[in-house]
Amino acid sequence: MSEPRDKPLTLWGGRFTGAPAEIMRIINASIEVDRRLFAEDIAGSRAHTSMLVAQGIIPPAAGNAILSGLDTVEAEIAAGTFRFDPALEDIHTHVEARLHELIGEPAGRLHTARSRNDQVATDFRLWVRTALDRLDGEIMALQCALLDKAAAHAETIMPGYTHLQVAQPVTLGHHLMAYVEMLARDRGRARDCRTRLNESPLGAGALAGTAFPIDRFATATALGFAGPARNSLDAVSDRDFAIEYLSVAALCAMHLSRLADEIILWSSPAFTFIRLSDAFTTGSSMLPQKRNPDAAELVRAKAGGILGALTGLLAVMKGLPLSYAKDMQEDKPPVFAAADGLALSLAAMAGMITDMTPDEAALRRAAGAGHATATDLADWLVRRLGMAFRPAHEITGRIVRLADARGCALEALSLADLRAIEPGITEEVYAVLGVENSVRSRTSLGGTAPERVREAIAEARQRCLSQPKLG
């Protein structure tokens, strides 16, 4: 365990003669939230210390003592033996207070040419950058699960919907590939966000820079940034990177929620398209027959919290004049909560996709309902009889009305029935009325024909796996 502290360290108390009110201490403290930044805070302090020594701003002996002490502090926190003190405001104060206990006077040199404003901005950027790197891998894992399931069902016919009404037959593989593309855009947005984020605020000071001869390029390089932020006011007051991260997270969560909603529908008795095993369902305390898709429902619900996090941080930032204001202490809770919720949702969704067992017979039956090949009939009239599409559409509508009246599928109508509406129709028309024929005919790029689906899977797999790892 770290040694007890006789007197809490404050970083700003010289001008004050009285202590803050208890409620002031409580509302001002952020340690229960920002303790998650300890590794980033220590990394920034290491880079800053090394730069101060290299620039001759602090003696090498002091720098070595600071670096050694930071190693100890980091090890204590990582091991869970570090004592967090509610009297200390934040992670920055905790690290520096423990450093004072370990090495004494040299610890006071660490904060030379640095403010908590540029310190926390740097820490938070480092944390969000790591979160983006992690997110990229988490999304890719779900993409791989979807690709594997799509490959296994490239020919499995199911209904495609508009307005939740049967529209045209598609394959399950084609349907799942739509989510692979959504997630690819999410990965692209995450990578774009990382590029814009990757500027170092360190050295901007409280807001105006510093008179010390610091080397901001050295600290930026040491921390893996592309370079230093160009304007000191913007460097300490910018939270665009956090808002953009939440935008990425919100879009991804929205995509997951749509997929979760389909899993919920598909696993219901009204659809019976898929079955989830005991691993991803729960029972009822009262109703013994129930198998509830709770994992999917929770993914759908967590999207609401992530959308709220984005809205909340936008509201915090919208009225702040330059540069820093304490309002910005509220930037981290929504980001941390969104990151946790999204990581859990992605892992749960990957598990559900891998776990789910499609009922191919039920999917095939549903694909043939609702006259799903009506468009194929209209297209046949255009191709074979040379009609314009609008008259073909009207004729097909009349044939659908007849099938509805007879209570049968389009292919169950006799040739005489069809010719009574359009005399030019021949026996050839039956080749396009079955759902298998319909699916096979959709060979345009991006279409649902199994051969196109397999090509799309191969291309997407190569695209997903060939992207360089972030971080």
What pLDDT digit, counting tens, does each position of 37-72 carry? 999 999 999 999 999 999 999 999 999 999 999 999
The answer, yes or no, to whether residue 185 has pLDDT greater than 70, is: yes
- What local confidence, expressed as pLDDT, does residue 368 receive? 87
Check 68, 268, 277, 284 and give the catalytic one: 284
Reference 160, options 323, 382, 460, 376; nearest CA is 376
Any catalytic annotation for residue 200? no
- What local confidence, expressed as pLDDT, does residue 468 receive? 87
Identify the sign of the CA torsion 262, 266, 269, 275: negative
Task: Tell me how many degrees the CA angle 321-323-327 measures, rounded to the nearest 5.
Answer: 70
Token duo for residue 268:
């219901």
Q: Whole-model pTM?
A: 0.91
Instruction: Please tell me what DSSP assigns to residue 207.
Output: T
- 151-160, 270-279, 367-376: least confidently modelled range: 367-376
What pLDDT digit, counting tens, does each position of 10-38 carry? 555 566 666 677 787 778 788 889 999 99
* pLDDT averaged over every residue in the chain: 93
Check 115, 163, 174, 414 and give the catalytic one: 163
- What local confidence, expressed as pLDDT, does residue 87 receive? 85
Three-state DSSP at 157 gives: strand
H helix runs in 198-323, sequence order? 216-222, 232-237, 240-266, 294-317
Tell me the backbone φ, ψ of residue 179, rounded to 5 degrees: -75, -30
| Distance separating alpha carbons of residues 130 and 128, to the nearest angstrom | 5
Q: Which amino acid is at 106?
A: P
Question: What is the average per-residue pLDDT within 372-389?
Answer: 93
In the chain, % of residues over pLDDT 70: 95
Any catalytic annotation for residue 174? no
71 Cβ partners below 8 Å, 6+ apart? none
- What local confidence, expressed as pLDDT, does residue 288 receive? 63
Give the HSE-up count for residue 3: Cα atoms under 13 Å, Cβ half-sphere: 11
Question: What is the average per-residue pLDDT within 291-304?
Answer: 95
Give the other-Cβ count within 10 Å of 42's Cβ. 20
- What local confidence, expressed as pLDDT, does residue 1 receive? 44
| Distance separating alpha carbons of residues 305 and 299, to the nearest angstrom | 10
The answer, yes or no, to whether residue 283 has pLDDT greater than 90, is: no
| Distance separating alpha carbons of residues 109 and 362, to the nearest angstrom | 71
- What local confidence, expressed as pLDDT, does residue 26 receive? 76
